[in-house]
Structure 1
Amino acid sequence: MKIAFDVRLEGAERADWWRALTDALPDDDWLDPAVEGTQSARWREADIAVVANPLPGRLAGCTQLRLIQSLWAGVDRLLADATLPASVPIARMVDPMMNRAMAETAAWAVLSLHRRAFDYAAQQRQTQWRPLPQKRADEVAVLVLGLGQMGRTTALQLAALGYRVSGWSARAQDVAGIATSAGWAALPAALGAADVVVNLLPLTDDTRGLFDRTRLAQMRQGAGLVNLARGAHVVEKDLLVALNSGQLAHAVLDVFDTEPLPSTHVFWFHPRVTLWPHAAAQTDLRSAAAVVAVNVEAVRRGETAAHRVDRSRGY
């Protein structure tokens, strides 16, 4: 099979991906656009495209594609490319190690909010020795938004730590041992009942700007927000108002409208914001390459690839 490697990364990171993927599928014909050129006959004859941050239009001439395999879990940028062949299935990356990493980061954030770690860090900077009130885990209600693979893994991890975990999704989902609700009408009540909200929703037309002034006002006063999904889920100016007013006590943010976050952005300096540089759950090359290999073998056998994207839903 001819596999187009349309991965717009730099230097060692790109080389590492190339090595991991070609090691996982050594008998296939891998096409590097830096060598082939995207207008070559070989590129246009590709059977499969493995992509990450591809430039729009680069796959438009690939008329024999049978699968577009994303190396990222989110596919919103990929779907924004109107030149992608509409009939070609797209598979997103569902990496079990990445799911575990996301659950670990969410657990750290919830534990830090629950056990007042950010408050103690502020006290340390001021050389203050002042124990703060401490709740039990089962007195802390945590809402996980989005019950896909990452959301399920995260909800179960948090429940194992003793938190009162609930989940919400746009469409009904069952997660063993987790109370769930679904549909936009149910969201205000779910938000209002939570001490901590962990956002793991996909970015779609429905979820873009979800945390605006109205939604933030629906959250319990003094709650914490953990956004590990997409920066566009949050209206940044509305979040700042909510933090400054005390409507929210703290926000843990891994993703932003503009990345890298500009050095002058107020989030860097805000006492109620803790930020990470889009590093909550990095794709593990080894396990991700194995996921790609499974899907390539499925296509080779004429079977359906796993984790196909529903373009009408945006994920």
Structure 2
Amino acid sequence: MAMLISIGHDGWYTEEQLAEELRAMAPGADIRPVSAPGNLDEITVLGVSALKGDLPAQLPNLQLVQKLGAGVDTIVAHPGLAPHVRVARLKPLEPAHEIAEFCLAYVLRDQRNLLTHAASQTRSAWEPLAPKRPQETTVGILGLGHIGSMTARLMRDLRFRVLGWSRSPKEIEGVDCRHGETALAQMLGECDYVCSILPSTPATRGLMNSETLAAMKPGAVLINAGRGDLVDEPALLSALDKGTPGHAVLDVVRKEPLPADNPLWAHPQVTITPHVSGWHLGDALKDVVENLRRLEAGEDLLHEVDRERGY
């Protein structure tokens, strides 16, 4: 049994770094970077961040694709992945904390008028402006899974009024949890900030379209740290021109890297960050090693994905 590491994109760990970390946790395990794959017939596990190209077709004995993170949309949608191949994801705490902190950072940027104060400084102008009070501010969280629920609790603990939305019922103490399609528009109209932590599934793609964007509170801020295909980008640009929402913070977009000629770059009411909201894997690499052991032993895997549902 051998594991091949193929990150699938630049700007994060390298395959060599990740393979070295995993080998340190599992001495004796056969873990190879894609730069030195050896005999591909020996590969039974493929570790990826994004699954691209025809790699699965080159691995005739592949049994498991282990996602090196949470979202599995590029894996379950891959046309070359045989039906029998299993898929597992991670539920790491460290990037979940980081994504929650990312959302909080952009909420606080507006709550504390940081951009306004920076503009005042360029004019050498002393212009006091009262910050907004958290208890008078409503933060909405789209998606109440592992990461979304953590984000909701962080906002709650900082005294924001927090609304949560998911497709099925959830309960989080101190959070007004709502669910289902009919509840979404009403919730969006109450929120000063909407933080999307949704995965990419057939039910969520294009969820933020012209209709749902129009349901948002005028001047509200949309923060997307989930998946880029949640948002209909042409509809978002049109909605921003109308002031509903008033601003969008996009850590994820439909095509990454975002092409230089994409109008999102230049829109004055858009903030782009290059998919950095959750970065470090922390202790989650232990789950990768554990899944290697479980697969070989014929035991249930950690965080196995239902490929039909997409999560």
Q: Same fold (TM over 0.5)?
A: yes
Cross-structure match for 2:19 = 18
- Who is 1:269 aligned against? 266
Query: 1:289 aligns to what?
Result: 285
Q: How many angstroms apart in 2 are the aligned matches of 1:212 and 1:246?
A: 15
Matching residue of 2:296: 300
Distance of aligned partners of 1:150 and 1:265 in 2 relative to their CA distance in 1, 3 Å threshold: same
Aligned position for 2:113: 116
**Structure 2 residue aligned with 1:213:** 210
Quote the residue 2:78 is aligned against.
81
1:175: Cα distance to partner?
2.2
**Where do 4+ consecutive residues of structure 1 move more than 6 Å?**
none
Write the letter of the residue equivalent to 1:190: M
Amino acid at match of 2:188: L
Is 2:192–2:220's contact at 8 Å kept on the other side of the alignment?
Answer: yes
- 2:305 pairs with one of 285, 309, 314: 309
Equivalent pair of 1:4/1:33 in contact (CA under 8 Å)? yes
Aligned length: 310
- Give the CA deviation at 1:63: 4.8
SS of 2:248's partner is strand
Q: What is the correspondence of 1:1-315 to structure 2 with a 5 Å cutoff?
A: 1-9=1-9, 13-36=14-37, 40=39, 43-60=40-57, 62-284=59-281, 286-315=282-311
Q: Deviations over 1:215-245 (max 9, x none)?
A: 1111111211111112222122222222222
Does the C-alpha gap of structure 1 residues 249 and 46 become closer, same or farther in structure 2, counting only changes over 3 Å?
same
Secondary structure, counterpart of 1:248 in structure 2: coil
Give the deviation of 1:165 after TM superposition.
0.8
Name the CA shift for 1:24/1:178 in 2 (closer, same or farther; >3 Å): same
- TM-score normalised according to structure 2 size: 0.90
Tell me, in whole angstroms, the C-alpha distance in 2 between the residues paired with 1:52 and 1:103: 20
RMSD of aligned Cα (Å): 2.2
Instruction: Give the residue type in structure 2 aligned to 1:59.
Output: P
Within 2, Cα distance between the matches of 1:261 and 1:55?
17
Distance 1:148 1:263, change over 3 A: same
Distance in 1, Cα, partners of 2:253 & 2:87: 25
Using a 3 Å threshold, how does the CA distance of structure 1 residues 193 and 254 change in structure 2: closer, same or farther? Answer: same
Q: What amino acid is aligned across from residue 21 of structure 1 in structure 2? A: L
SS in 2 for 1:97: helix
Moved more, 48-57 or 225-234: 48-57
2:231 and 2:270 map into 1 onto residues whose CA distance is 13
Stretches of structure 2 lacking an aligned partner (at least 5 in a row): none
Mark the CA change 1:44 to 1:59 in structure 2 (over 3 Å): closer, same or farther: farther
Q: Provide Cα deviations, 1:280-299, integer angstroms capped at 9, x if missing partner.
A: 11133x42322211222332
Equivalent residues of 1:57, 1:81 under 8 A apart: no
C-alpha displacement at 1:135, in angstroms?
A: 2.6
Q: TM-score, normalised by structure 1?
A: 0.89
CA change 1:304–1:271 in 2 (3 A) is same
